[in-house]
Amino acid sequence: MIRAIFFSIFDVHEGPKVLHQVPADSIAPSNTSSQTPLLHFPSVSSYIIPRPEYCSKLITFCTPAHRVLCQPVCLHSSTYPRNAYTFSIALVLDASTPFASYATVTLKLASLLQTLEEQSRFLSRDTSAPNTGKIYALCEILLEDLNNYCESMIPIDDSNTLNIKLFPTYPPPPPLFPHHVPLSTVRLESLTDPNWDLTMLRVLPHINGINSVKQISLLADADYKLVRKAIEHLLYYGCLLLLDIFSFSASYASTAELASFVEDTDMQEECAAYVAVPPVLSNSKASQSDPISGFQLVELYLKLRQGQTVKSFYVDNVEIVDRIDIRRFITFGVIKGFLYRVHRYAIATSQTSRRKRDNKIKSKQKAEEPTPAEFQIDATESERHQLQMEKFLDGTHCFDEICTELMIGERELMRRLKAFGDVQIICR
């Protein structure tokens, strides 16, 4: 939130001087005012109206309670006293307020006022008393609009209009990998526009909480890098969540946050509505008239544990689970944070690592000493698979990532791991 906006100049007789301030007496109070100013202007005036070499640069500094942003401007002309006119419009924020978006506003304001001054002497010819006139009105409207609406449109004259918008600054999105599954949190179709990026328009129909980023790029017939950039853009603005690839061979376990789900009946009702199977798709006649209860949902979530696959969980609780969408059931727990995916990782043993180093040495020797074409032998399919697998066997790549990168299923992955040699599989 903007606490104050003030306009100051370098007066040839008085030096740095606050000409207009909103609210009144917030920066340089009058002699009759009892209000405490937000900052002591004489002690910071050298930053507001600095030497010419520091002008036309964004300046930001903090006092114990506030942050000030300004971009001083110094214009040189023989029409000005001392052949120069120096001014600055500054924004005062709380010290804890993120200021990245306000910095853009400050730069645009300084640029606009500089243009107006160069075109028509808009600032130097203003003879209004302090806290009156067009410049004061500009500061007043700007403060009110940005604090209340985060945007402002102010007509300056017949040919100039100030248009400013505060764009929120979000934290950077989480790292995005090919095996991640984006799930929309808003209706993306309602936000689309024919002028949107072509890749974005091709990607949106395939974001359904089932397809991974790699699958989306294939289905949309678009370059993976462009698809990734489009999804990162949606992640940045909070339009998507990232999930894992759903599989019946996957394993999930509950966290301590499950206690909040047990106590929250509203969340249980939300879950029941989210995971309910439409009557037409249900296999059981009883399930069509008997919706699942919150107690049954809690009981099901408590039965999920490490070492148990979704398939075995389904088989053990088929009478209840048959009445819900199992994928949505898992997804709801992951989104709310009381379920987590137990990933599997493959680690090569020391013997396998030595073989890996030997392969690198041999390949390097072959590259340095090329053999004649008649003596070259094509590597077998198993050798090619081993070369592909080696970079994933350091314990940092989960099965989802390996399967996605190699475009294979989990059964084929297990076959290749057995053929590779001594490999340990850990779950965490």
DSSP string across 193-262? -TTS-HHHHHHGGG-SSSS-HHHHHHHTT--HHHHHHHHHHHHHTT-EEEEPPP-TT-EEEE-TTHHHHH
Give residue-wise pLDDT tens across range 277-306: 876 544 555 445 478 999 999 999 999 999
* pLDDT value for 356: 54
Reported as a single tens digit per residue, the pLDDT across 5-60 is 999 999 998 999 999 999 988 998 888 888 888 999 999 999 999 998 989 999 99
Comparison of pLDDT for 313 and 362, the residue scoring more: 313
Q: Is the pLDDT of residue 365 over 90?
A: no
Contact 73, 59 (CB under 8 A): no
Distances (CA, A) of 312 to 63, 179, 326, 340: 62, 24, 12, 17
pTM of the model: 0.72
CA distance 351 to 356: 9
Res 359: pLDDT:
58
Greater confidence (359 vs 380) lies with 380
Q: Among 241-245, 260-264, 367-371, 415-419, which stretch is predicted with the lowest mean pLDDT?
A: 367-371
Asked whether 224 and 217 are in contact (CB, 8 A), the reply is yes
In the numeric block, which tokens belong to residue 3? 């606490």
pLDDT in tens, 159-190: 888 899 988 878 888 999 999 999 999 998 88
Mean pLDDT lowest among 38-42, 184-188, 191-195, 223-227: 191-195
Q: Among candidates 408, 413, 406, 388, which has minimal Cα distance to 425? A: 413
108-122, 348-362, 394-408: lowest mean pLDDT where?
348-362
Asked whether 55 and 73 are in contact (CB, 8 A), the reply is yes
Judged against a pLDDT cut of 70, whether residue 93 lies above it is answered with yes
Where do the DSSP E strands lie in 97-225? 151-155, 161-165, 181-184
Q: What is the mean pLDDT of the chain?
A: 88
Q: Over 70: is that where the pLDDT of 368 sits?
A: no
- Give CA–CA dist 205/207, Å, rounded: 6
Region of 292 on the Ramachandran plot (φ > 0 left; ψ -120 to 50 alpha; else beta): beta
Would you say residue 385 has pLDDT above 80? no
pLDDT of residue 367: 55
Contact, 176 vs 228, CB < 8 A?
Answer: yes
